[in-house]
Chain A
C-alpha cells in the first residue's frame, strides 16, 4: 500500500469486488421490493455495506466509506431492533441512491480519476431515516444493556480489600496513535489482566458504554489500579504483549511485601458454546477472475491457430498428392481446434441477466418519476452472448427501455380509457436462434404514429412527398435516423432525438441489426439481432476475378446457376432474377468492387442469394471455392469504413480475403 506500484492492482481488485457487491445489492433490493419488503435481506445488505465500507476505507476513499457506514448503521438498527414501522419504499430509495453514488465513485476509480463526489446529502437522508426509526419505534431499546453484567462485576471488585501477599499497582498506559478504538483496547487489557490480578479499577470508568472515552485515553492515557501476587517482571511482560501498546508507567501504590513470583492463573475462561451454524442452501460455484486482456489474447491465439491450421492443411504444395493418413490426422486436428475454439468462446460468453436486471432499476425509477404504471417482464435472461457484445448493447438497451416507458406506455387513465390494463407491460426477451441472439423489447403502449413520422421525415427531407408506398417497416425505420424525434416536449429521460441513431450505430458496431415494428394503439416491438460471437464465423469463399471474397454462411440462402428465362432487365437496365415467382435484384460483385472478372456473363458465373432483414439479393461471382471458418479481423485503421465490407481474414495460403457485409450491400 505504501508505494504507488503496488496500489494499482489493489484498486482494480477494489473496483471489481465492489462492483460485484453493488450488483448483488441492487438485485437484492429490487427483488425485495417485488416480494414485498427488504426484510428478508437486511442481514445481507448490512454485510455488503460493511464490506464496502472496509475496503473503501483501506483505499482511503472516505466518501464511499462514510456513506456505506451510514447505510450500514441503518441496517444495523433494523437488524438488532427489528422495528415494526419501517417505510420500506423510502428505505429502498435511500439504498438505491447510495448504490448509485458508490457506483459513480467506483467508476471514477476505474478510470483512474480520484473519487471526488460529495455524499453528505445522502448521508443526511440516511441519518434522518435512522432517527425517524428510533423515534417512532416503540420497541426501541437501549443497546448498551448487554454490558450491564460486566459493570456489576466491576463494582464487586472495587469493594474488595487488598489481601495479603498482594501488591497494589498503578499503571498508566498509552496506545499507539491511530490504532483505533482505544476504549475497547483498554477493555481488552482489563479483561486479560483479570487473569493475573484482582481488584481492578480503572479510569476512565465508562469505557464500555461511552465510545468517546477513546479520545480521552488517546490524550491522557488509561489508568489502571490493581492488586496482584505477580512480580513486576511478569507484569512488564504482560504489558509488552499487549497489542498496540506504546508505553506504560508501572508503579506500586501501597507498599506490601514483595511476594513469590508464582503466577496463579485463575480459571477465567468463559463458557462458550458453538452456536448453531446457520447454513443456507446456497450452492457455491468456484470461479476465478481472469484479466480480460488475457482472454482476448487467448481468443486471438485460437484465431491464429485456425488460420495456421488452414495454412497447413490447404497448403498449395499438397495439391494433387494422395495423403490418406495425412488427411486422417488433419481431421483429428480440425476436431480439436474446433473444440478448443468452442471452449474459448464459451469462456467469453456471459449471460445477459446482469444487463437485464439493470433495466428493472430503470423502469422502476422512471415509473416513479413519470407517474406511470408499468412493469418489466424479463424472459430468457440466461441467454449468453460474447462479453464484448454485452458491453456494446447495454447502453442501447437502456435507451430502448427508456423509450418504451416514456413514449410507449401511456398514463394509466389513458390506458383505462382505451380498455387496456392500467399497468403497462414491457417485455424484455432474449433468445438464441441459429447463429444469432435476438433481443426483443416489446411494450403494449400507444405504438408509433405512421403519419407523424412521415411528416417529420418530409420536414427533414428524408423523403420528398408523403409517400404512401412506403411499407410500415420502412417508415418506422426513420426513427433510427439522427436527430429524429416526434416527441414535442423533452423530458429528463428522452425526447431529444439523440439516441435512436446512437442505438443503431452501437448495435451495428457489433454486427447486429435493429428493426422496428409497431401497431398503432397496441404497442411497439424493437428487435435486435446480434451475432453470437464476433471473432470467428463460417464463411463461403467466392472467387471474383483474382480476388477471393468471403460471405458469411448465415446470410446465404442458396446459390445457383442462372438460366436465361429467369433473367429480367428493366427499363433502367437493372438486372433482376425471377425465382419461384419472386423477383430479386442482382448485384455484380465485380462492378461493386471494381475488379476484373473472368466472365461478365451472368449465366457463366454463379449466383449467391443472400438475405438480411427480410431483404434478399443475388450476388454474382465467378465461382464458389468452398466453405471455411474464418477469423474476422478488423480492417486496419488507416482504411476508412467501407460500406459492404465487414472486415478481412487471412486464408490458408496466406492471402487476404475481404469479408462481405451483406447488410451494407443490401441497402
Chain B
C-alpha cells in the first residue's frame, strides 16, 4: 500500500515512516504542510494519506477538504493530538476516513491502518 505522510513535525514523519516501512507499507512521499500535501497527493496518487491537523501555511482540515474535492474516494487518516476533539469532529464531517491519536505506538498505527488493507 502506497502512503503519503503529511505532518509538519519531522519527528512524527520519521516515526511514521519507520513504522510503515518496517511493516510492508510503501511511503511514497512526505509533505510538511497541507498545501504541499495536496500537491503531492495529485502527483503521487497514494492509496492512503496520513494527515496531521495543526500545520503551518495550510492545516490538515483544509487540505483534507481539498483532497476530498479532488477525489471523494481518497483515503485520509488524520493524525491528531488528544484534546483536539472539536477539530477532529469537523474532519470527520469533511470526509476523513478515520484518525489516529498521538501519542501512538507502532501497534496502534498498524491496527488502525489495517482497516484499509
A13 touches B10 (CB 8 A): yes
A241-B54 Cα distance, complex, nearest whole Å: 26
Within 8 Å CB of B29, what residues of A? none
Judged by a CB distance under 8 angstroms, whether B99 is at the interface is: yes
With beta carbons under 8 angstroms apart, the residue of A65, A241, A242, A272 that contacts B95 is: A272
Checking B72, B77, B98 against A269 with a beta-carbon cut-off of 8 angstroms, the contacting residue is: B72
Q: Is A14 an interface residue (CB 8 A)?
A: yes
B15 within 8 A of A: yes
Known contacts A269-B95, A272-B65; is-contact A58 B72 (Cβ 8 Å): no
Contact A17 to B89, CB < 8 A, known contacts A6-B18, A46-B54, A244-B111: no
Taken together as a complex, chains A and B put the C-alpha atoms of A200 and B81 apart, in Å, by: 28
Contact B83 A69 (CB under 8 A): yes
| In the complex, chain B residues whose CB is within 8 Å of the CB of A183 | 85
Do B15 and A50 touch (CB < 8 A)?
no
Interface pick from A274-282, A325-333, A643-651: A274-282
Q: Given contacts A181-B99, A181-B101, A244-B115, could you give 11 more A-B pairs where the C-beta distance is less than 8 Å? A: A10-B15, A17-B10, A57-B82, A73-B83, A176-B108, A176-B111, A178-B108, A211-B85, A243-B113, A270-B95, A272-B68
Q: Which of A184-192, A432-440, A566-574, A591-599 contacts B (4 or more CB under 8 A)?
A: A184-192
- The reply to whether B58 and A277 contact each other, CB–CB distance below 8 Å, is yes
Is the C-beta of A470 less than 8 angstroms from some C-beta in chain B? no
Interface centre among A1, A2, A54, A180 (most CB of B within 10 A): A54
Q: Is B42 an interface residue (CB 8 A)?
A: no
The chain B residue with its CB closest to the CB of A15 is B11
Q: How distant is A283 from chain B, measured CB to nearest CB, in Å?
A: 13
The residues of A that contact B113 with a CB separation of less than 8 Å are 243
Interchain CA distance A150-B92 in the complex, whole Å: 12
**Across the A-B interface, the 5 shortest Cβ-Cβ residue pairs:** A180-B101, A57-B103, A243-B98, A272-B65, A58-B103
Beta-carbon contact of B98 and A274 below 8 Å: no
The answer to whether B88 and A270 touch across the interface, beta carbons within 8 angstroms, is no
Q: A54 and B12: CB pair below 8 A?
A: yes
Is the pair B86, A143 in contact by a Cβ cutoff of 8 Å?
yes
User: Residue A187 contacts which of B65, B89, B105 (CB distance < 8 angstroms)?
Assistant: B89
Q: Which of A55, A72, A73, A176 has the most CB of B within 10 A?
A: A55
Between A and B, 14 residue pairs with Cβ closer than 8 Å are A2-B105, A13-B10, A47-B8, A47-B54, A54-B81, A57-B82, A143-B86, A176-B111, A179-B112, A188-B92, A191-B92, A244-B112, A270-B93, A273-B65
Q: Which residues of A contact B1 (CB under 8 A)?
A: none
A293 at the interface (CB under 8 A from B): no
Which residues of the partner chain B approach A208 to less than 8 Å between Cβ atoms? 89
- A481 CB-CB contact with B under 8 Å: no
- Is there an interface contact between A60 and B103, defined as CB atoms closer than 8 Å? yes
Out of B57, B80, B85, B112, name the residue touching A243 (CB < 8 Å). B112
Number of B interface residues, CB 8 Å? 52
Smallest CB gap from A181: residue in B:
B101
A58:B104 contact, CB within 8 angstroms: yes
Q: Is B28 an interface residue (CB 8 A)?
A: no
**Bound-complex Cα distance A242 to B116 (A):** 9
A51 B99 Cβ-Cβ under 8 A: no
CA–CA, A270 and B58, complex, Å: 21
Q: Does A236 contact B (CB under 8 A)?
A: no
**Distance between A50 CB and nearest chain B CB, rounded to angstroms:** 5
Determine whether the beta carbon of B57 is less than 8 Å from that of A51: no
Residues of A with C-beta under 8 A to B115: 240-245
CA distance A174 to B32 in the complex (A): 34
Interface SS majority for chain A = helix
Give the chain A neighbours of B97 by CB distance below 8 A. 243
**Chain A CB within 10 Å — which of B18, B86, B90, B112 has the most?**
B86
Residues of B within 8 Å of A178, CB to CB, are 108
Tell me the A7-35 residues at the B interface (CB within 8 Å): 10, 13-14, 17
B92 x A58 contact (CB < 8 A):
no
Q: Closest A-chain residue to B32, C-beta based?
A: A284
A274: shortest Cβ distance to chain B, in Å?
5
- A565 close to chain B: CB less than 8 A: no
Q: Is the CB of A10 within 8 A of B81?
A: no
**A102 to B54 alpha-carbon distance, docked (Å):** 20
A53 interfacial contact with B, CB 8 Å: yes
Q: Is A146 located at the chain interface by the 8 A CB criterion?
A: yes
Q: Which residues of chain A are within 8 angstroms of B104 by Cβ–Cβ distance?
A: 58
What chain B residues lie within 8 Å of A273 (beta carbons)?
65, 69
User: Is the CB of A44 closer than 8 A to any CB of chain B?
Assistant: yes
| Cα of A42 to Cα of B59 in the assembled complex, Å | 15
Q: Give the distance to chain A from B71, nearest Cβ to Cβ, in Å.
A: 12
With a cutoff of 8 Å between Cβ atoms, the chain A residues found around residue B66 in the complex are 274
Known contacts A10-B15, A178-B108, A243-B77; A146/B86 CB under 8 A? yes
How close is A143's CB to chain B, nearest CB, in angstroms? 7
- The minimal Cβ–Cβ distance linking A600 to chain B, given in whole angstroms, is 66
A73 to B88, CA, bound (A): 16
B94 contact set on A, CB distance < 8 A: 270, 272
Minimum CB distance partner of B14 in chain A: A13
Shortest Cβ gap from B90 to chain A (Å):
8
Within 8 A of B (CB), among A44-82: 44, 46-47, 50-51, 53-55, 57-58, 60, 65, 69, 72-73
Say yes or no: A51 contacts B9, CB within 8 Å.
yes
A80's nearest neighbour on chain B, judged by CB, is B86
Question: Which A residues are CB-close (under 8 A) to B27?
Answer: none
Residues of A within 8 A of B8 (CB): 47, 51
Question: Within residues 33 to 86 of chain B, which ones have a CB less than 8 A from any CB in chain A?
Answer: 35, 54-58, 62, 65-66, 68-69, 72, 77, 80-83, 85-86
Contact B102–A57 (Cβ < 8 Å)? yes
Q: Would B62 and A54 count as touching, CB distance under 8 A?
A: no
Q: With A13-B11, A269-B72 as known contacts, state yes or no: A51 contacts B54, CB within 8 Å.
A: yes
Shortest Cβ gap from A483 to chain B (Å): 45
Q: Which residues of B contact A191 (CB under 8 A)?
A: 92-93
Q: In the assembly, what is the distance between CA of A179 and CA of B102, in Å?
A: 9
A47-B56, A241-B115 known; A277 vs B85 contact (CB < 8 Å) = no
Nearest Cβ on chain B to A535's Cβ, whole angstroms: 30
- Given known A58-B104, A69-B83, contact A184–B92 (CB-CB < 8 A): yes
Chain A CB within 10 A, most for which of B8, B58, B102:
B102
A582 within 8 A of B: no
